[in-house]
Homo-oligomer: A and B are copies of this chain.
Amino acid sequence: MVDEVSAALVIIGNEVLSGRTQDINVQYIAKGLGEIGVRLKEVRVVEDDEAAIIKAVNELRAAYTYIFTTGGIGPTHDDITSECIAKAFGVPLLRDPRAVERLLRQIKPENLNEARLRMANIPEGADLIDNPVSHAPGFKIGNVHVMAGVPKIMQAMFDGIRGSLKGGRPLVSMNVTIHMGEGAIADGLRQIQDDHADVEIGSYPFSRDGQYGTIIVTRGADPTTVSTVSRLVATMAESVGARIEMDSESA
């Protein structure tokens, strides 16, 4: 797609890979980026492991417009993201006075021990990302945005930086719910997709009360085309005898 603005996300956390924690950050970031026309192209979940983090960040920052990371910027021994990002960029990790000042908004001076001060260690040259929830900042270096893993904090950080991203043309989508299994409409769908390369047609089967159905999601930059293609899908499905429901126009 012309002028596509792309993004990748690195989730840093043994707790997701062990199954202890159900990630909900992917969906929040994916939707938020989509609204400003930035397309999330890849997500990687990696362990709290220096080599794994550096490899993922360096591979992805070379491949996509924007990179986001979540997790690993707290005060404990398993929080190693900031060191890893500094190493990935080949810059020193420095105690940042701006970050210390922010920690002092939340933490009494007598409680600002060495562990908590680690949260003020920021790669040289990075800009801070505001944390309106608990003040310990994230940071941005190059095209990499380093955020907390706790969803409430991540969301606040992400909402704060989203306005600074240069987006593309947002995609709009429309759904057609077809009360028939995918197999009966697949040939017709393929034909419609072949005829309309400027939209993406996704087919998502479901079963409800023992009945198979399919949701067809048409996505594209041009609302008129998306609407036209959705109507074609609906007509095709009705022509093979399916009951359908169509979205009203939706973003």
Q: Are B27 and A182 in contact (CB under 8 A)?
A: no
A184 at the interface (CB under 8 A from B): yes
A167 at the interface (CB under 8 A from B): no
Q: Are B23 and A26 in contact (CB under 8 A)?
A: yes
Which of these, B17, B52, B189, B219, contacts A77 with CB under 8 Å?
B189
Q: Are A42 and B46 in contact (CB under 8 A)?
A: yes
A162 at the interface (CB under 8 A from B): no
Which chain B residue shows the least CB distance to A40?
B17
Which chain B residue shows the least CB distance to A32?
B19
Q: Are B41 and A47 in contact (CB under 8 A)?
A: yes
Which of these, B44, B107, B118, B187, contacts A114 with CB under 8 Å?
B187
Number of copies: 2
**By the criterion of a CB under 8 Å from any partner CB, how many residues of chain A are at the interface?**
66
User: Shortest CB–CB separation between residue A50 and chain B, in angstroms?
Assistant: 14
A186 at the interface (CB under 8 A from B): yes
A41 to B42, CA, bound (A): 17
Q: Are B74 and A205 in contact (CB under 8 A)?
A: yes
Residues from 11 to 50 in A contacting B, C-beta threshold 8 Å: 11, 14-24, 26-31, 34, 39-48
Residues from chain B with a CB closer than 8 A to the CB of A201 are 77-78
User: Shortest CB–CB separation between residue A77 and chain B, in angstroms?
Assistant: 4
Which of these, B11, B34, B78, contacts A203 with CB under 8 Å?
B78
Which chain B residue shows the least CB distance to A212?
B134
Residues from chain B with a CB closer than 8 A to the CB of A251 are none
Residues from chain B with a CB closer than 8 A to the CB of A20 are 173, 217
Residue ranges of A at the interface with B (Cβ–Cβ < 8 Å): 11, 14-24, 26-31, 34, 39-48, 52, 74-79, 107, 111, 113-116, 118-119, 150, 152, 173, 182-184, 186-187, 189-190, 193-194, 200-207, 217, 219
Task: Sort A-B residue pairs by CB-CB distance and give the 4 closest, nearest first.
Answer: A115-B186, A19-B30, A19-B31, A76-B203
Between A and B, 25 residue pairs with Cβ closer than 8 Å are: A14-B200, A15-B204, A17-B39, A17-B41, A18-B30, A18-B34, A19-B29, A19-B40, A21-B27, A26-B45, A41-B46, A42-B46, A42-B47, A42-B52, A43-B44, A44-B44, A75-B182, A75-B186, A77-B186, A77-B189, A77-B203, A78-B193, A113-B183, A113-B184, A116-B183
